[in-house]
Amino acid sequence: MGDLSQPADLNADWQIDMSTYNMPSRGHPLLKETGALLRRSQPTARPRIQALSASLIREVANAAMSRKDILPFWFGESDQPTPAFIREAATASLQKGETFYTENLGRAYLREQVSAYLTDLHQTRIGADRIAMTSSGDSALMLAGQLILEPGDHVVLITPLWPNLVEMPKILSAEVTCVPLEVRQGRWTLPLEKVLAAIGPNTRMLYVNSPNNPTGWTISRDEQRILFEHCRRHGIWILADDVYERLIYRDGLRAAPSFLTLAEEDDRVIGVNSFSKAWRMTGWRVGWMVVPPSIVPNLACLIEYNTSCIPEFVQRAATAALQYGEPHVARLRSELIAARQYLIDGLRALPGIEVPESDGAMYVFLRIAGYADSLQLAKLLVEEAGLGLAPGRAFGPEGEGWLRWCYATDLKKLHLGLERLAAFLAK
């Protein structure tokens, strides 16, 4: 305990309640001098944390999740559970009593499986010595920032973007510059020259999420090569968020273009991925990172001081997903291709709706003429149409005026959603 015989530091923790001035003292030396009562100030987080933006998706969803009449398309996940063979692997692990701590970087059997999976997927050897398992892709993104960024470092992000990825550098006291995608000739397009112009002498990291949440924009190989060579030349890190890389609908590709296929193992490239989307494992919270081998020991320490390790049964489930999951991924992609086209065709048949083209992910990013405030519109759709969409402003000011619709669901629900939107517009 502090020494109560000494006056409190009024600049830090205490305030004088002047309304009680000249009241009888209560025993504290400072009170004997002033005759005022001391009271503690309200506890607060540091300013950077106070400045964080709360999730507007949650603001819309939390107000209506209990309503059974809502058609929810606001969250970025499939409406189907994790495949049975993955769940059974976790169950078998629990029944065997595998409930103890594991290695910080993940079990060797899972890291080797991720290595084999990525090497086959990208036809580029990616060794297990570069891989760390993490407690979600979300955690991996934060770890990457903690690993590289110092307060005041400058980062560049391509937006609109999943809000977590925009706020993470701010939590770490980095300075953020956002470069918005543009709609050109009816497609979401990267303004490459603006991205290059935003990267300055003090830029530490470039964040690229492709396929992109919320627009579905997917970087081309040529764009990727230009950004990679520019960043390599200037010693700038690239953080590649590849969570949607398997949900690509361009030219029959198995995966979206990857920075990992351009980089040598000692290049400043960090690849982040997750089991959430392609294997329908959102609730499992398991992902991975690919990093230069030289920083793996530092990453292991960092994981220890964050989440320590991933549960064994989750790692067994993730291993099963990689070993036996390719037919499931192929089936999911076929379902998403059909759902995507059905939704786009239905939206374009309605008056005043703009739906730019994109090549990946599981979202349509749309705009309705006459509605500038996306949060107000999203709440109105919930209230009047029972339709749950994510407001574009949740993905940064660049997304204002737009709405995100997740189409990872069956066609019947999409049909009902389109009917409700049509009825809303008819009013």
Rounded Cα distance, 276 and 247, in Å: 12
Last residue within a domain, chosen from 283, 302, 323: 323
Within a domain: 375:
yes
Mean pLDDT score across all residues of the chain: 92
First vs last C-alpha separation in the chain:
66
**The two three-digit tokens of residue 54, written as one number:** 């709360």
Same domain? For 176 and 296 the reply is yes
Q: Percent of the chain at pLDDT above 70?
A: 91
Report the alpha-carbon distance of residue 348 to residue 308 in Å, rounded: 48
Per-residue pLDDT band at 64 (split at 50, 70, 90)? confident
Tell me which residue range forms the domain holding 355: 54-81+327-426
d(CA 124, CA 359): 23
Q: Do both 123 and 71 map to the same domain? A: no
Are residues 365 and 263 both part of a single domain?
no
User: Considering the domain boundaries, does residue 90 fall inside one?
Assistant: no
Whether the per-residue pLDDT at 31 is higher than 90: the answer is: no
Query: 300 and 216 share a domain?
Result: yes
**Whether residue 25 has pLDDT greater than 90:** no
Q: Which of 323, 353, 386 is the last residue of a domain?
A: 323
Residue 174 belongs to a domain: yes
One domain, residues 218 and 237:
yes
Number of domains in the chain: 3
Please tell me whether residues 393 and 282 are part of one structural domain: no
Backbone angles phi and psi of 263, in degrees to 5 = -90, 145
Percent of the chain with pLDDT over 90: 84
d(CA 23, CA 366): 64
For the entire predicted model, the pTM comes to 0.89
Inform me whether the pLDDT recorded for 34 exceeds 60.
no
Q: Is the same domain home to 167 and 300?
A: yes
Q: Does 340 share its domain with 210?
A: no
Is 234 in the same domain as 258? yes
Neighbours of 32 (CB within 10 A): 11
> Is 130 in the same domain as 174?
yes
Q: What is the CATH number of the domain that holds 162?
A: 3.40.640.10
Alpha-carbon distance 133 to 224, whole Å?
Answer: 25
Q: Is residue 211 part of a domain?
A: yes
Claim to verify: residue 115 and residue 32 sit in the same structural domain:
no
Q: How far apart are CA 79 and CA 99, in angstroms?
A: 29
The reply to whether omega before 211 is within 30° of 0 (cis) is yes
Boundary-marking domain end, from 262, 288, 323: 323
Please, how many CA atoms are within 13 Å of residue 251, restricted to the half-sphere of its CB?
6
How far apart CA 135 and CA 287 sit, in angstroms, is 6
Looking at the predicted structure, is the pLDDT value of residue 79 above 90?
A: yes
Q: Which of 121, 374, 133, 402 is nearest to 274 (CA)?
A: 133
Nearest to 338 by CA among 410, 276, 251: 410
Q: Are 238 and 259 in contact (CB under 8 A)?
A: yes
CATH number reported for the structural domain that contains residue 349 in this entry: 3.90.1150.10
Looking at the structure, do residues 243 and 151 belong to the same domain, yes or no?
yes
pLDDT of residue 427: 85
Residue 162 forms part of a structural domain: yes
pLDDT band at residue 408 using 50, 70 and 90 as cut-offs: very high
Which pLDDT score is estimated for 1? 45
φ, ψ at 4 (rounded to 5°):
-75, -5
Phi, psi of 221 (to 5 degrees): -65, -40
Task: Please indicate, yes or no, if residue 3 is contained in any of the structural domains.
Answer: yes
14 pLDDT band, cuts 50/70/90, is low
pLDDT for the residue numbered 55: 85
pLDDT in tens, 243-253: 999 999 987 89
